[in-house]
Chain A
């Protein structure tokens, strides 16, 4: 091992990969069936946390940052003057095995710049995964990037070795994408997604009958959308995400606040996207997937941007005061899920408790309900909060103290 050379490659190719925010190592059902190394954890494991508080779960690297494309938002674009490097297949395999054995990581997340052409790049990614699985009996988590334009044969093979596959849409609207990345279209990303979705479902059904049918991307697919690099609204972003979940069976859509890494003239000259916008999008994404909300509940054509001062559920409650208060002892599961400050787990506990008798405020406190927010929207059979139907007056009570301070500063600026 040439340690100095490897160290340099690692720092270049890890740095270039960090703008992909996906870090999940969950959702796989792979087991250590061959007495080799590794066993997937269904819930995923974060092995460390960086000083910005993000989780480190996988060895996330590019095979190479040489790229024939020139996408304005990407640090590895052809026209950008950065240091270039490339790993060999053996180097990636060796790093993955040795980091995994030390319990540093859950597995490998391998992406790449497109060198030469899509198929050559994809073939190289597949080879790394195949070698880990077959030669080294590695059963840890592997997330491979699907290279747009790669052949279906290669994509299929990737699914046989990897736990998760992802292809990033990056720019939320097709028109904007073609402006900043002339070589790309949405269709290029959607096409392999469609193929993978079909295959995953097909092989899952087969596995239900034939136990020996091969695992195929057991942790499904994900994608990433960049927020704030183009004028696309939250409504466009969430509308797209919702479609991806419903039509293409994606497990996760990641939202990446734009960091101005690029001096390309096609990109906005503004600063970073505020972290809070990214956060509100994730909260909305959760409401869509687990809380029975629809995109139209959260945003409208007249109001296409999320309220940065309030979490999306609280904002919804203030826009729809006629739905509240919700009676803790009587309301349906669906309505309890729409109460700000009450999460899925608390709803489960409330329903369980109701079978035994009346539920009171003190019970909710112990269950972990955020009373500070929930109290305005709940009733316990009797009195309701005086402000429940006065959203204008309620609003100041619901803005988190830090945001209140920021809002005041804005007023006086």
Chain B
């Protein structure tokens, strides 16, 4: 007989706050209340189905920790990290896969059977997210400002900013830098080996003084030299814009000095 938590008739929708512990709390709830997953979403408004029960799960750190400990014992830390990577995709279908996968693991399923669409699906999502992470490590463009801080703006498809922090901390160890995710309205700030998150402020009448930061004096010269270099290494006779865009999707161009306006 099927365990109660997997009887399809008992399935319902789950809503959570989008956080990683929140998703783990969803898994805890599925298990403890024995009601399978129809979908996992971050906003109640994403559910258009009027006839099925919706369960809103509030993030509970104790529950999350219990799920995490159990999962780590069963799967190992690197596998958990993969799931956490996938979660950065911020997609309902991926959240669903993660929940299904953890339930599979907790019930003794074959977590390495790549014939299983859940196992293979997560593998592929991890690849998508890693790819976006890698692209951000490549396409971030810093500008040096008059106050000595190096700044960059990005708008990645997935929430990969936390994934690239270590790379930039190690590489630009001697710089004070700030990378801002324009889409998600937060950034990471680094100084002397410490990376901390910063939030955007939306207050037009803010009492805070408006910072007068501008590009450092020689910044423009280096941008121009870089553009000169970029032009010089091109071989126009072998023009292949499709290939260029395949490697460097157009959505990134507005943040890359050598591509702006192309």
CB <8 Å contact, A32 and B225: no
Q: Using CB atoms, name the residue of chain A closest to B222.
A: A98
A383 contacts B by Cβ under 8 Å: no
Contact present for A356 and B113 (CB under 8 Å)? yes
A15 to B230, Cβ gap below 8 A? no
Known contacts: A46-B247, A51-B239, A98-B222. The answer to whether A32 contacts B173 by CB under 8 A is yes
Taking a contact as CB atoms under 8 Å apart, the answer to whether B117 and A52 are in contact is: no
- B115 x A52 contact (CB < 8 A): no
Asked if B4 is at the interface of the complex by the 8 Å CB criterion, the answer is no
Q: Which of B137, B232, B242 has the most CB of A within 10 A?
A: B232
Stretch from A34-42, A162-170, A176-184, A309-317 forming part of the interface with B: A34-42
| A14 contacts B247, C-beta separation under 8 Å | no
Q: Is A83 an interface residue (CB 8 A)?
A: no
Chain B residues within 8 Å of A32, by CB: 170-171, 173
Q: Which of B19-27, B46-54, B78-86, B142-150 contacts A (4 or more CB under 8 A)?
A: B142-150
- Assess whether A48 is interfacial by the CB under 8 Å rule: yes
| A363–chain B nearest beta-carbon distance, Å | 5
By a CB distance below 8 angstroms, the chain A residues around B222 are 98-99, 102
Contact A353 B115 (CB under 8 A): yes
Residues on A with C-beta less than 8 A from B259 are: 48
List the one stretch of A4-12, A208-216, A236-244 in contact with chain B.
A4-12
Please determine whether B134 and A356 come into contact, CB atoms closer than 8 angstroms.
no
Interface string of A52-88 (1 = CB under 8 A from B): 1111100110000000000000000000000000000
- Taking a contact as CB atoms closer than 8 A, the residue among B115, B117, B167, B173 that contacts A357 in the complex is B115
Alpha-carbon distance between A35 and B150 when the two chains are bound, in angstroms: 17
Min CB–CB distance A413 → chain B (angstroms): 23
Contact present for B137 and A45 (CB under 8 Å): yes
Q: Does residue B210 face the partner (Cβ distance < 8 Å to A)?
A: no
Whether a CB of chain A sits under 8 angstroms from the CB of B72 is no
A60 surroundings in chain B (CB, below 8 A): 233
* Bound CA span A160–B114, Å: 45
Q: Does B207 contact A (CB under 8 A)?
A: no
A403 and B59 CA atoms in complex are apart in Å by 57
Q: Does A269 lie at the interface of the complex (its beta carbon under 8 Å from any beta carbon of B)?
A: no
With the chains together, A32 CA to B169 CA distance in Å? 10
Query: Bound complex: CA of A225 vs CA of B258, how far in Å?
Result: 31
Chain B residues in 8 Å Cβ range of A59: 229
Q: Which residue of A lies closest to B236 (CB)?
A: A51
Interface string of B133-167 (1 = CB under 8 A from A): 01001111111100000101000000000000001
The answer, yes or no, to whether A104 is at the interface (CB within 8 Å) is yes
Residue of A nearest to B120 (CB): A366
From A360, which residue of chain B is reached at the shortest CB distance?
Answer: B115
Name the contact of A48 in the complex, choosing from B112, B170, B228, B258 (C-beta under 8 A).
B258
Complex Cα–Cα for A49 and B246 (A): 10
A386 at the interface (CB under 8 A from B): no
- Inter-subunit contact A11/B137 (CB<8 Å): no
- A45 near B138 (CB under 8 angstroms)? yes
A45 to B242, CA, bound (A): 20
Known contacts A14-B229, A45-B138, A101 near B236 by CB under 8 Å: no
Please, which residues of chain A bring their CB within 8 A of the CB of B62?
none
Closest CB-CB distance, B147 to chain A, in whole Å?
16
How many residues on B have C-beta within 8 angstroms of the other chain's C-beta atoms? 54
Query: What's the Cα separation between A359 and B114 when bound, in Å?
Result: 10
Q: A35–B174 contact, CB under 8 A?
A: yes
- Enumerate chain B residues within 8 angstroms of A259, measured Cβ to Cβ: 235, 237
A411 lies within 8 A of chain B by Cβ: no
Partner of B246, one of A3, A36, A53: A53
Q: How many residue-residue contacts, CB under 8 A, span A and B?
A: 153
Question: In the docked arrangement, what's the CA distance between A59 and B225, Å?
Answer: 11
Q: Is the CB of B233 within 8 A of A367?
A: no
Whether B9 sits at the interface, judged by CB under 8 Å, is: no
Q: How many whole Å from B25's CB to the nearest CB in chain A?
A: 31
The reply to whether A51 and B241 form a contact with Cβ atoms under 8 Å apart is yes
A14 in contact with B170 (CB, 8 Å):
no
**Beta-carbon contact of B173 and A36 below 8 Å:** yes
CB within 8 A of B238: which of A37, A275, A366?
A275
Q: How far is the CA of A39 from the CA of B164 in the complex (A)?
A: 13
B234 and A52 form a contact (CB under 8 A): yes
Interface residues of B in 155-193 (CB under 8 A from A): 167, 170-175
Contacts of A39 in B (CB 8 A): 167, 170-171, 173
Task: Check B238–A49 contact: CB distance below 8 A.
Answer: no
**A408 at the binding interface (Cβ < 8 Å):** no
Q: Does A201 reach chain B (CB closer than 8 Å)?
A: no
Minimum Cβ distance to chain B for residue A87 (Å): 12
Complex-state Cα separation, A281 to B193, whole angstroms: 45
Q: How far is the CB of B237 from chain A (nearest CB, A)?
A: 8
Contact B226 A103 (CB under 8 A): no
Asked if B218 is an interface residue, CB under 8 A from chain A, the answer is yes
Contacting residues, chain B, for A359 (C-beta < 8 A) = 115
- The answer to whether A367 touches B120, judged by C-beta atoms less than 8 angstroms apart, is yes
B248: Cβ under 8 A from any A Cβ: yes
- Of all A-B residue pairs in the complex, the 8 with the closest CB atoms, nearest first, are A53-B243, A14-B232, A52-B238, A356-B113, A39-B170, A53-B240, A50-B234, A39-B171
Known contacts A38-B171, A103-B152; 9 further A-B pairs (Cβ under 8 A): A14-B228, A14-B232, A45-B134, A52-B243, A53-B238, A53-B246, A102-B150, A103-B141, A353-B114
A-B contacts, 20 listed (Cβ < 8 Å): A7-B225, A15-B233, A32-B171, A35-B174, A41-B137, A51-B240, A51-B244, A52-B234, A52-B237, A52-B239, A52-B243, A56-B230, A95-B225, A98-B225, A101-B144, A103-B142, A103-B152, A137-B174, A352-B114, A357-B113
A interface residues, Cβ below 8 angstroms from B: 1, 3, 6-7, 10-11, 14-15, 17-18, 31-32, 35-39, 41, 45-56, 59-60, 95, 98-99, 101-104, 137, 259, 272, 275, 349, 352-353, 355-357, 359-360, 363, 366-367
Chain B residues at the A interface, C-beta cutoff of 8 Å:
110, 112-115, 117, 120, 134, 137-144, 150, 152, 167, 170-175, 218, 221-222, 224-226, 228-244, 246-248, 256, 258-259
